[in-house]
Structure 1
Amino acid sequence: MRADGGVDTLDVLSIPAGHVYTQAIRPSQVTYRPDPDIDGQWWPHPALDADWWHARTDLPDLVHLHFGFDHLSVADTRAFAQALRERNVPLVLTVHDLDNPHQVDQAEHHGKLRVLLDAAAARLTLTDTAAARLRPGAHVIPHPRVVADAPANAGTAVGVFLKSLRANVITDPVFYRILARTLHRATGRPLSVHLHEDARTAHLIHDLAREQAAGFLELRVHSPMPDETLHRAVGNCSAVLLPYLRGTHSGWLEMCRDLGVGVAVPDCGMYAGQADDPRAVREYATGDPLDAARALIHLHEQGRLPYAGDRERQLAEIRQAHLQVYREVSGR
């Protein structure tokens, strides 16, 4: 509290600051320093370079690191943590990814996480299942809503949204062929496959065209969708598959649940731990198309389930929880 009776605003260097997630969780009593503009992107964030801190005079109250440190080596990460210690700037770490979805070999990512966890004044994650994998004392603060105003859809399609085939997405056409045929045999419905039209998806579009011709799936090839269009497309589904090979948590899952859509999730991460209602998220064996079809069929036959809880109240609680952590680690 200031002498004039006002409330001091905490000065936080969030990495990143402008991402939709970090914008959502920000308490009103906090000022986030703006992200740098690096050819239109915020990464690689210069504050992750230890040298950036050595000559700084305008130190923040704390650093909150979410993601964006993929480019660092373990040694670089150790130097970053040491620089914060030397300048007496506390580190808050949110572990979104126990396993990095963009990397097959997790050894270096896990090495960096160990350094950051050792250095952090507060350790946060999104689910109880992830917290159980971290050291004692990790705070669990759930993922906030993604869709504030969900369209009133009541769709019955069964879909998978592949976008541009990121590194953790299953790309084998055989997986989708078996999945689509099994789904069609059980429900009479084609699998709705959404892909971006670009060089990375061309082979899959070509290979799946025969399944479309046979009526087992519908290929929906498109450019990246604006949020409203995407929400309508997802909302037209009763169930959606997350076709991931690795990872930990998913904003896509939260978006589906905001829209009342059931989600089939792989057992490789902590996705099932994000469920607002255990009936709304069904696990399958990672990479197994028959098991993925089983999960989708169950969700489709069960029907849509609205989000179980109060997203407005949850968001207020999420922001308050972050404010409390920031105050504790900064001494303010």
Structure 2
Amino acid sequence: MPITLLPIPAQHPYVRAIRPENGWEDFVVLGDPVVDPADPARWWPHPALEPEWWEEHDADVVHLHFGFEHLGVAGTEAFLAALRRRGIPLVYTVHDLDNPHLEDQTDYHRQVALLVDQAAHVFTLSTGAADVVEKRYGRRPQVLAHPAIVREPATAQPGRERAGVFLKSVRGNVVKDPEFYRQLGAEVYLHEDAPVLRDIADHGHAPMDDAELYRAVSAHRVVVLPYVRGTHSGWLRMCRDLGVSVAVPDCGCYASQAADLADPGVRVYRTGDGADAARVVEELLSGWPAEPGRKVVDDEIHDAHRVVYRKVVQSR
């Protein structure tokens, strides 16, 4: 019998990348439910996180990635209790040691503690994150590198000498001080209108499909991640897939994500320091193009997840 897997969410680029493009023949992977008919691509808040959902639905294994912070501690406990009642094992990937959307991390850390403690298996994406999880919560996750985001990597174009900063929105974990961007001297791409940065934006852009985004990113030699907190980054992986070097802040585990792969195309600047970020950009420009370090082997990542899913289901 095939195993029914419920990823939460199913269509996030990372979650799609940890399984083969055509799936596994011995698995049925459930898609994201439509939570808003006016925006059918929106998967949050995922209804499977509510205990009532399990009264009418089933799965053999659940793999939780993102989108649970709205539950709070009590809601997380209720979700875990619903899975226990049904005998459904949980696999949890710690993407966010600190939630990038939240200022106060107290309840979020308590939620992560519950998930790490009660999951049948825990993954994370870097040794740095595994060290933090082990220290905070007393359990060491299995480390698997971030899989490739760009299925067919393109060669980066010579393009502009300047760096680029892409801001889909000015979220809680993004530097909001315009002086940071002025010091950086980067081209700023701003999707959603944000008065605090409007005057320094070089480009306003509508939502891009993948092909448009890859063209825009690969027109630069360097991209800067302007974060003040966070853990890992799909943008970091995407840029390196495209041959673009990346300047990352010294917060979170962005440096560890690259160091695990011995990637010379990623360098670290002091968080929030535009002048230091500009220095790192110049270093990356002078060394561009940077050859990738240890190759991410997607087949190994796919197989590791498949093995864990089978193991936890067999141990029910």
Cα distance between partner residues in 2 of 1:30 and 1:14: 12
Structure 2 residue aligned with 1:49: 50
Cα distance between partner residues in 1 of 2:226 and 2:131: 25
1:159 paired with 2:135, answer no
Which structure is larger by alpha-carbon Rg, 1 or 2? Answer: 1
Paired residue type of 2:148: R
Structure 2 residue aligned with 1:117: 116
Q: Is the 8 A contact 1:259 1:307 kept in 2?
A: no
Unaligned runs of 5+ in 2: none
Cα distance between partner residues in 1 of 2:144 and 2:126: 7
Superposition deviation, residue 309 in structure 1: 4.2
Moved more, 257-266 or 24-33: 24-33
Aligned 1:61-76 pairs, distance under 5 A? 61-76=60-75
Q: Secondary structure at the match of 2:158?
A: coil
1:306 paired with 2:291, answer yes
Cα distance between partner residues in 2 of 1:204 and 1:166: 12
Structure 2 residue aligned with 1:150: 153
Cα distance between partner residues in 1 of 2:11 and 2:2: 18
Cα distance between partner residues in 2 of 1:279 and 1:23: 27
- The correspondence for 1:229, drawn from 182, 199, 212, is 212
Structure 1 residue aligned with 2:234: 251
Superposition deviation, residue 310 in structure 1: 4.1
Deviations along 1:43-98, one digit per CA (max 9) or x if unpaired, are 21111112333x34x53111110111021010110111112112211110011101
- The correspondence for 2:35, drawn from 35, 38, 41, is 38
Paired residue type of 2:158: A
1:83 paired with 2:82, answer yes
Aligned 1:287-326 pairs, distance under 5 A? 287-311=272-296, 314-326=297-309
Structure 1 residue aligned with 2:225: 242
Deviations along 1:193-246, one digit per CA (max 9) or x if unpaired, are 1112x432x44122x27xxxxxxxxx1222122221221221122211100011
Structure 1 residue aligned with 2:99: 100
Q: Is the 8 A contact 2:264 2:292 kept in 1?
A: no
Paired residue type of 1:166: R
Q: Secondary structure at the match of 1:11?
A: strand
Structure 1 residue aligned with 2:267: 282
Q: Is the 8 A contact 1:131 1:140 kept in 2?
A: yes
Unaligned runs of 5+ in 1: 1-7, 181-190, 210-218
Cα distance between partner residues in 1 of 2:18 and 2:124: 13
Cα distance between partner residues in 2 of 1:114 and 1:124: 14
> Would the alpha carbon gap of residues 21 and 292 (structure 1) be closer, same or farther in structure 2, given more than 3 Å must change?
same
- Provide the TM-score with structure 1 as the length reference: 0.85
Q: Is the 8 A contact 2:102 2:172 kept in 1?
A: yes
Paired residue type of 2:253: M
Q: Is the 8 A contact 1:160 1:193 kept in 2?
A: yes
Cα distance between partner residues in 2 of 1:227 and 1:117: 33
Moved more, 145-154 or 232-241: 145-154
